[in-house]
């Protein structure tokens, strides 16, 4: 056992979670937009329907968050991630054989979305939360860089498939990746340090845990439950911040390639812009670890402001140089927001409520994410441009930045209610 050998298994968990998260979500998430022109042509999809498929995918992987929280709480994170990766493999195999809008909904939106929701976002962050206390933001930031590092290669790999094979072959390749990840999760994931006789951060004892019966009794009311947390105004405000960083990213990933095609950029330039946007999001994710040193709400506010500026820039970007400036701002803003909002939730409501509050946040985000790419497609079909969607998303991110600055911490359940719950 790792505990007897003296190796702190938490850092192994970080590597494993990095692999499961990065290779679990990035190939599917980023490939949908990269395969857009071929899919739209071959399956005769409108842009509204194309956006709806991606929106339903976003909704499914987000909406399944509460189920993922339930499964990993009552069964195990290892079981949840293994099941999810296997389901994603089956879904993406189905997409590789798709010949209609309905096939894409079933394989990509429902099966693939559910598989990714069970195997990546929530369980990966929960592993970082469970194994670390002092280095919590740092561990989560490292894990979430997996999405950016793996995602950077996706446009280039997809371009190769489109030039040398077909989009069907690309989805079959993604299915194989997901199947391999199911085996990785089964063999290497361990839910928390206590199961192998270790403590968070590799300490000799859990300094955050009560050491006596009386201490445990006193600590009870200071620990939030998810049910208590979701009733606070802080939870609602942070939900808005979650929408402000996540919704724009989803729309840009789904429609950005099409927008760049429409304004006349060459396919090679577009692939480069997307690779750079995903790559620079790694810097954003790493900068999210600053939340170990300064207020995570300040990091979140700056991230959302940068994302708003990048989105606004897309309204006037007609040259590659300005495009690179815009996607740089979007990538850094999204990456830092992605990490820092998880740290805010952990700081506000603690370890016990993390899975439940994060799962609920994902459900709300997915509900909005269901409509946003579809609405962007509808507006394009009606107006012939993406100006209205990008302007609205820039305002949303700006509003989130303001909320992150003014939102106070909720304190403890005792203080919030005036008495122990």
pLDDT in tens, 119-142: 988 888 888 877 777 777 778 778
Q: Is the torsion defined by CA of 48, 29, 301, 385 positive or negative?
A: negative
d(CA 345, CA 46): 38
What three-state secondary structure class fits 167?
helix
- Residue 99 phi/psi, 5-degree rounding, is -135, 20
Residue 319 backbone class (left: φ over 0; alpha: ψ -120 to 50; beta: rest)? beta
d(CA 38, CA 179): 25
Q: 3-state DSSP: the chain helix, strand, coil percent, rounded to 5?
A: 80, 0, 20
pLDDT of residue 414: 64
d(CA 352, CA 223): 7
pLDDT in tens, 328-366: 999 889 888 877 887 787 777 776 777 677 777 777 777
- Distance from the Cα of residue 174 to its chain's centroid: 18
10-residue mean pLDDT profile of the chain (421 residues): values are 62 89 90 84 84 86 81 87 94 92 92 92 82 76 81 85 87 94 92 75 58 36 70 85 86 81 74 82 70 74 91 79 87 85 77 73 76 83 83 91 84 55 35
d(CA 148, CA 121): 13
pLDDT of residue 294: 67
All structural domains of the chain, each given as residue ranges with its CATH number in brackets, are 2-203+223-412 (1.20.1250.20)
Structure tokens at 294: 């300064």
pLDDT of residue 86: 95
pLDDT of residue 203: 64
Structure tokens at 287: 């900068």
In terms of C-beta density within 10 A (0-12 exposed, 13-18 middle, 19 or more buried), how is residue 164 classed?
A: exposed
pLDDT of residue 242: 86
Element containing residue 403 per DSSP (H, E): helix 387-406
pLDDT of residue 90: 95
Structure tokens at 168: 């069907």
């Amino acid at each position: 056992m790792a505990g007897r050998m003296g190796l702190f298994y938490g850092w192994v968990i970080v590597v494993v979670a990095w692999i499961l998260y990065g290779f679990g979500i990035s190939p599917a998430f980023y490939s949908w937009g990269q395969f857009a022109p071929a899919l739209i042509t071959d399956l005769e999809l409108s842009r509204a329907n194309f956006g709806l498929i991606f929106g339903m995918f976003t909704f499914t992987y987000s909406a399944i968050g509460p189920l993922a929280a339930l499964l990993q709480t009552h069964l195990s994170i290892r079981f949840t991630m293994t099941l999810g990766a296997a389901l994603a493999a089956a879904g993406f195999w189905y997409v590789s054989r798709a010949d209609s809008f309905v096939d894409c909904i079933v394989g990509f939106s429902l099966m693939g979305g559910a598989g990714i929701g069970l195997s990546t976002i929530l369980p990966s962050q929960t592993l970082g939360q469970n194994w670390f206390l002092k280095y919590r933001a740092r561990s989560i930031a490292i894990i979430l860089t997996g999405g950016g590092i793996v995602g950077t290669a996706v446009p280039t790999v997809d371009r190769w498939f489109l030039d040398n094979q077909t989009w069907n072959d690309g989805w079959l390749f993604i299915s194989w990746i997901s199947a391999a990840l199911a085996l990785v999760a089964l063999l290497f994931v361990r839910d928390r340090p206590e199961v192998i006789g270790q403590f968070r951060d590799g300490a000799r004892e859990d300094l955050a845990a009560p050491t006596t019966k009386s201490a445990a009794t006193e600590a009870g009311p200071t620990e939030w439950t998810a049910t208590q947390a979701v009733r606070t105004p802080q939870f609602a405000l942070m939900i808005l911040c979650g929408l402000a960083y996540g919704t724009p990213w989803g729309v840009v990933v789904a429609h950005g390639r099409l927008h760049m095609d429409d304004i006349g950029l060459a396919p090679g330039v577009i692939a480069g812009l997307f690779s750079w946007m995903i790559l620079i999001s790694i810097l954003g994710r790493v900068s999210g670890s600053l939340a170990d040193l300064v207020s995570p709400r300040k990091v979140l506010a700056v991230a959302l402001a940068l994302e708003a500026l990048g989105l606004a820039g897309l309204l006037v970007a007609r040259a590659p140089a300005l495009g690179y400036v815009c996607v740089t701002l979007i990538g850094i803003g999204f990456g830092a927001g992605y990490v820092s909002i998880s740290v805010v939730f952990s700081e506000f409501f603690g370890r016990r409520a993390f899975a439940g509050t994060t799962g609920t946040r994902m459900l709300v985000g997915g509900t909005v994410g269901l409509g946003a790419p579809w609405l962007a497609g509808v507006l394009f079909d009606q107006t012939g441009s993406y100006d209205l969607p990008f302007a609205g998303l820039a305002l949303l991110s700006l509003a989130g930045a303001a909320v992150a600055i003014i939102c106070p911490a909720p304190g403890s359940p005792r203080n919030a209610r005036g008495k122990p719950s």
